[in-house]
Structure 1
């Protein structure tokens, strides 16, 4: 096959530690460089060309990461992160950046530009955008005002200059179409996947992480994600509190995730439950332990209120860990019939589901088998194949 695709990939999210969008960009990029159809792949980030943004970014995915000595303490915020919380700075950036970025890209019209993090800059050629969710429209209360303002200011103009949109689930695709933001023939849903490091573990593989973190394999429930209102952690803790004392102490709830926006009240409730002996908050952990933490859990409880994809669901399934998740947003689609679904707004339903999942050995065996099959059906190679097919439509 003759190489024909000249690609420019937005690399803004390629920075350590890799969170969801960064992981997506990384997995896509390292496969694109190996594709026979790709004649050239370049990276563009924050108005400049970047030679090798993949270097050093080969650790597994996870929202809760840090070196062992920093466990419990978040990495220092970058200047860019601090400015992103300022409404004034965000408005100034949204107003000024298109001119600068457009000028830098003014002579690249023969290439295809892919923005894997929502926003396509002014570009003279064909452009692809990946829209991960529409939470700034559907549930703006779950975000800082500056982020909502930024996406409200920039997403519309970005879509206007986008030839094709990729969404990470059919649920998000339908949300986009319901608001007439793009015509259906120009929107394709392409699922994400779990990294290969997320796999079932033997007792010997589990032992180092269990010892380092003070956990017992098979003796805890797990939540992985940033501590913020959208993740529905307050209701998860309330539901867990309704379980019998024996259940709570036999399988305590372990929360792994860095502090997020507007999380003070959640942390206060977590501290109370931790004092009562049935909750552990690990905050930032060494990223190398994350697959074992998944694999060592009896259950992943992920009752998020809204997601674009919900990567922890697939990561847990790939590790052979049964999953309880929400019956809302994209979660049923991602789970593919392999998880127990609950109403995330109904604490009683959530508590009932937790009890059933923790105690029903037959369901646990079935969920492990079905979850492994579901995770195997979602691969980064398939994601890259379907993305290249979108590029081909535009070349």
Structure 2
């Protein structure tokens, strides 16, 4: 059997989450069926495949590159033009400008009521004192000639006010309609000539309308047709090599024609908790949802994830198969000597800290945990340290600011993701582990802590409650008082910690990558007709 597998996680810097699942399942399937073949599909726009990431596999798969991940694409830009379309507004009449290089000229009756330089305008990323600007042209100077007399006005002249922005080095931008004061024109002259020296923007966004929309739609259709062609070419290459299925694993959610298409579902946080997910991540996730809906099979990392797919996205239940996550074989209890060696450089002592492993982002609920911990220290000043382990996600500044304002920088440590051995030592040396996320599709840190013989405090909802069963202390993740009380209970009750640790070991043993690999192999055989 030969499958193509989304290799995006092997291009990333973090060893957690999607990457851990990919390594666990691919290694298990390969161990169960040595003839099983895997080709990684990677989008070169996501960066190179990282050798240290590939080292997590027990085999070396071939890699094909194709720029197909929608997350790597920019949205089709709105059509633009480079012509500023300069005109003059003279006493209510629109007069075409004579153009010569960077000079727009007017010759005609002297204006008596108004005179303005009109042009296209387009929003810029730069901001002035009034915020984001719609800029027209940058005027560097104006020459007004009549009866042999010439009045020269610098573009930075303060008299250029209405329709002009603040002066920069030698000029002013118009907002698309820059009015020239009538006081600059000769009163007695019947005719006048005006030369406006200007610089245009590189491009101007076309005004919304049928013409611009048609251009935009045609460009988008062309891009989609090109992408469809690349998908067909990639599918043909893979099929020629004997590949029968493609597995989308978060980073490259594509469907390859002629292959069995499978999508791996890790969570639905962008749908269930959109307020805690970045806007760009929500947008990118929309493509993943499409893959869930049109895939021949969806592999869900928990029963809770399966139920969410069925109830929230209305995926037929017979197209969803639960493939549970498991802790890596390398995450296991460590000797006291190994733990002490790993903890000493971090300033930590065995059994003297609470461990929370997760990326530092809003959905993981670090801020509430931190607030609950601060409240705990008011009644229990001798509380053990709190240690966060994970990548710095978005909105992390709130966590850092609160930690600093609360004077907890000494008691609350933040460590980056490290090697598997180091993580196992951190789990093994912790008094207990806290995973109080607002939502999880699986809750891998729960199983990791249990496997290391460490008691667990976790949330009473989503996959966390499912994974924990009766082997963890459950708490409402939105209730800071409840979290604080649960922290104190586990700190003070050594017997409870021991009981949960023993239950946790048995619970973790009920999850294995081998069992999940067997599920995948059997299902792939049904889907592809392979023996």
> Does TM, normalized by the shorter one, top 0.5?
yes
1:375 corresponding residue in structure 2: 508
- 1:333 aligned to 455, 466, 471, which one? 466
2:259 corresponding residue in structure 1: 125
Q: How does 1:147-296 map to 2 (within 5 A)?
A: 147-152=281-286, 154-245=287-378, 247-273=380-406, 275=408, 277-285=410-418, 288-296=421-429
Decide which structure has greater strand share: 2
Q: Which protein has greater RCO, CA pairs closer than 8 Å, 6+ apart? A: 1
1:100 corresponding residue in structure 2: 230
Q: Deviation per CA, 1:69-116: give whole Å up to 9, x if none.
A: xxxxxxxxxxx9xx9699748999x96755523431135456122223
- 1:391 aligned to 477, 500, 524, which one? 524
Instruction: Tell me if 1:21 matches 2:155.
Output: no
Q: SS of the counterpart of 1:221?
A: strand
After TM superposition, give the deviation of residue 185 of structure 1 in Å: 0.8
1:210/1:190 CA distance change after superposition, 3 Å: same
2:455 corresponding residue in structure 1: 322
Q: How does 1:55-70 map to 2 (within 5 A)?
A: 57-58=54-55
After TM superposition, give the deviation of residue 288 of structure 1 in Å: 3.7
2:235–2:259 contact (8 Å) kept in structure 1: no
1:90/1:288 CA distance change after superposition, 3 Å: farther
2:8 corresponding residue in structure 1: 12
Q: How does 1:30-109 map to 2 (within 5 A)?
A: 30-36=27-33, 38-46=35-43, 57-58=54-55, 88=75, 97=227, 99-106=229-236, 108=238
The number of equivalent residue pairs is 366
1:66 corresponding residue in structure 2: none
2:23–2:56 contact (8 Å) kept in structure 1: no
Query: TM-score under structure 1 normalisation?
Result: 0.84
Decide which structure has greater helix share: 1
1:268/1:163 CA distance change after superposition, 3 Å: same
Of stretches 11-20 and 95-104 in structure 1, the one that deviates more from structure 2 is 95-104
Query: RMSD over aligned Cα, in angstroms?
Result: 3.0
2:490 corresponding residue in structure 1: 357
Gaps of 5+ in 2: 58-66, 79-219
Q: Distance in 2 between matches of 1:141 and 1:115?
A: 25
1:98–1:121 contact (8 Å) kept in structure 2: no
Q: Distance in 2 between matches of 1:267 and 1:279?
A: 10
1:84/1:40 CA distance change after superposition, 3 Å: closer
Q: Distance in 2 between matches of 1:269 and 1:192?
A: 33
After TM superposition, give the deviation of residue 56 of structure 1 in Å: 5.4
Report the structure number with the largest CA radius of gyration. Answer: 2
2:338–2:425 contact (8 Å) kept in structure 1: yes
Of stretches 297-306 and 159-168 in structure 1, the one that deviates more from structure 2 is 159-168
Q: SS of the counterpart of 1:307?
A: coil
Q: Distance in 2 between matches of 1:373 and 1:303?
A: 21
Q: Distance in 1 between matches of 2:277 and 2:73?
A: 13
1:326–1:344 contact (8 Å) kept in structure 2: yes
After TM superposition, give the deviation of residue 384 of structure 1 in Å: 0.8
Q: SS of the counterpart of 1:34?
A: helix
After TM superposition, give the deviation of residue 307 of structure 1 in Å: 0.9
- 1:138 aligned to 261, 268, 272, which one? 272
